[in-house]
Amino acid sequence: MLSTQFIREGISRGERGVIVVFEKRPEEYLTTAPGALRLDELVAEGMLTMLYLRPLDLSVDETMEEIATAVKRIGATRVVIDSLMGFELALAPSFRDEFRESLYRMVGALVDLGVTVLMTAELTESYTELRLSPHGISFLTDGIILQRYIELDGALRKILTVVKMRGIDHEKELRLYDISEEGIVIGEPLAKYERVLVGTPRLGAE
């Protein structure tokens, strides 16, 4: 959801985009994302390219070449890699042992092409350890946005926060968010609660 919103916002400003998926075929991605018809139209207009890279014998260089070709073909300035876990599984086994180094090279090459890269990573929920990325790769990024589920007032809710934004004094509040037909809608900050990230939210002292 965040990925497609990132791409759509760029397109609304005249920036073309590329979405690279490893776990879901492009046609499935387009039909399950909110506003799927609009995504189809953006592909038809040449503003968006979907790449499905699933074969289990890919090398990092082959993956990079596919992405670079798509970026150059439409003049994209935004790229989404969805997801890092899918990317790792799509690599040939001999390349997985050096996944962090391989990803470092690929991200560097994409940045050299003048694109902004958004990567998604699904992590196992843990309230005793705050993990921000698999394989310790958070150092590769200029920004980190954390999304997770919490139990609040007897209901399962979704929260979002900006953990890192290099060189920017960003907002640090935890905020509730919902998903609508138009995408992610940011809600109120959880200013009255404490211990949210450790799994035992409670009202703080007034």
Q: What is the pLDDT of residues 34-85, one digit of tens each?
A: 776 688 889 999 999 999 987 656 777 888 899 999 999 999 999 999 888 8
CATH of domain 1-134: 3.40.50.300
pLDDT of residue 18: 97
- Indicate the SS3 state at residue 78: strand
Highest mean pLDDT among 2-6, 23-27, 91-95, 122-126: 2-6
Residue carrying structure tokens 């902004």: 116
Stretch 123-131: mean pLDDT: 60
Measured distance CA(78)–CA(101) in Å, rounded: 22
pTM above 0.75, yes or no: yes
Is pLDDT larger for residue 144 or for residue 134?
Answer: 144
Measured distance CA(79)–CA(49) in Å, rounded: 10
Query: Is the pLDDT assigned to residue 206 strictly greater than 60?
Result: no
- Indicate the SS3 state at residue 158: strand
Residues in the chain: 206
Residue ranges, CATH 3.40.50.300, the chain: 1-134
pLDDT of residue 140: 83
pLDDT of residue 37: 64
pLDDT of residue 186: 93
Stretch 175-201: mean pLDDT: 86
DSSP 8-state code for residue 55: -
pLDDT of residue 55: 60
Mean pLDDT, the chain, whole residue set: 85
Dihedral of the alpha carbons of 39, 43, 48, 51, in degrees to the nearest 10: 100
